[in-house]
Homo-oligomer: A and B are copies of this chain.
């Protein structure tokens, strides 16, 4: 497994920098100082590698929000926690997040379908946070699907501009962004 980790790390970087189609198994092997053929002891095809990266990223997003939903019941606390968790998944592995957002469409139809299902499940959990907030009278009666889309846009786009070497931690950026979004969601007089 240690070796598969190394292969994924190199693949994430190359796929995110040059694109999936422009990266060959040989390019990945070269970075690992291996023969192209010896990679096939760990993976069968280049697409398996893309799948491994995308699948792991999708799972991390899901696990992160599930932990928050288990721990918190207050809508505002859930919102803050889930937003912070989403941003943390991206900040922890920026190349993998970039591959996830840019390259999942390059997977075979069956795997693409699996990604879409996981994404739907993830979005449903976010909609549940927004919907719960409205039900409890904490959030304004917004269109749940559209509001969730706006929130996830801000959370996702983070991968485009966040630089780990920048002056602010991902956590403090996440908290500031979620306060801005909550200002639009929380009913007047409730915050």
Using a CB–CB cutoff of 8 Å, the interface residues on chain A facing chain B are: 17-22, 101-102, 105-106, 140, 142-143, 146-147, 149-150, 152-154, 156-158, 160-161, 173, 176-177, 180-185, 188
Closest to A102 in B: B102
Could you list 15 A-B pairs, sorted by A, with CB under 8 Å?
A18-B106, A19-B21, A19-B22, A21-B21, A22-B22, A140-B183, A142-B183, A150-B180, A152-B157, A154-B157, A180-B184, A182-B184, A183-B183, A184-B184, A184-B185
A22, A143, A161, A188 — most chain B CB neighbours (10 Å) = A22
Cross-chain contact of A19 among B20, B101, B142, B147 (Cβ < 8 A): B20
Least distance between A138 CB and chain B CB atoms (Å): 14
Q: Once bound together, how far apart are the Cα atoms of A158 and B161, in whole Å?
A: 16
Check A180 against B147 for contact (C-beta < 8 Å): yes
Cross-chain contact of A181 among B19, B101, B150 (Cβ < 8 A): B150
Contact partners of A101 in chain B: CB under 8 A: 160
Least distance between A41 CB and chain B CB atoms (Å): 26
A17, A105, A150, A160 — most chain B CB neighbours (10 Å) = A150
Closest to A177 in B: B150
Contact partners of A183 in chain B: CB under 8 A: 140, 142, 183-185
Contact partners of A182 in chain B: CB under 8 A: 184
Contact partners of A20 in chain B: CB under 8 A: 19, 22
Q: Once bound together, how far apart are the Cα atoms of A77 and B175, in whole Å?
A: 28
Cross-chain contact of A153 among B106, B142, B154, B184 (Cβ < 8 A): B154
Contact partners of A105 in chain B: CB under 8 A: 17
Are A176 and B146 also in contact (CB < 8 A) when A154-B153, A184-B184 are?
Answer: yes
